[in-house]
Amino acid sequence: MSEAAKAPSNKIFTIPNILSMARIALIPLIVWLYHFKEEYLLSAGVLILSGVTDVVDGIIARRFGMISNLGKALDPIADKLTQTAMLICLVFKFPLMGIPLAFMVVKEFVSGIWGLIVIRKTKEVRGAEWHGKAGTVLLYAMMLLHAVWPNIPTLASNASIALCTAMMSISFLLYSTRNYRLMKEIASD
């Protein structure tokens, strides 16, 4: 594949972008099923469906050259909105969910500002790295564990919350370091 073919396009209506939009559309259903109907297994099923479409849109985008600038921005937005909505649902039943929820809000706010500065300076939208993906996997695992096991023992709940929050912290540190280095390189040019 040529370099031009690998460059992100400015297309809006690609299959991966439509899948990201569908994930955003699933959020009210997840909240309604979990919080209002207390259909925990069904809400977990919709959350899994959302996660599967996240994986599939990434595979399609890379395999078929459908990477777009919109997709690089929309995909993480769909992820964060889904995660935030689910964590808000879970915090009513598991108050310690407030820790990863608060951390995620702060992390995404700070990372978003860094990211916008980097985009403005480099004209590039940076993709997710392994630690961000690992943090996402742990976050979804933690949310699913609590959704399918509403009476999870406190020790197991606290351990999964601690593990997830630790990975989010590591990822935040690594992304901050990457963005700091990029800004230093830009400043020295």
Q: Which fold has domain 3-188?
A: Four Helix Bundle (Hemerythrin (Met), subunit A) (1.20.120)
**Close Cβ partners of 44 (under 8 Å, ≥ 6 residues apart):** 144, 147, 148
Whole-angstrom Cα distance, residue 74 to residue 11? 12
User: How far is the CA of 5 from the CAs of 70, 127, 128, in angstroms?
Assistant: 16, 17, 20
Enter the pTM of the model: 0.85
pLDDT tens for the 189 residues of the chain, in order: 444 446 667 788 899 999 999 999 999 999 999 999 999 999 999 999 999 999 999 899 989 989 888 888 898 899 999 999 999 999 999 999 999 999 999 988 888 888 788 778 777 767 678 888 899 899 999 999 999 999 999 999 999 999 999 999 999 999 888 888 877 877 777
| Residue 69 tokens, joined | 């600038």
Whole-angstrom Cα distance, residue 75 to residue 149? 28
Residue 4's pLDDT is 43
Neighbours of 13 (CB within 10 A): 9
Q: Of 90, 9, 110, whose CA–CA distance to 47 is shortest?
A: 90
Residue 73's pLDDT is 82
Residue 3's pLDDT is 43
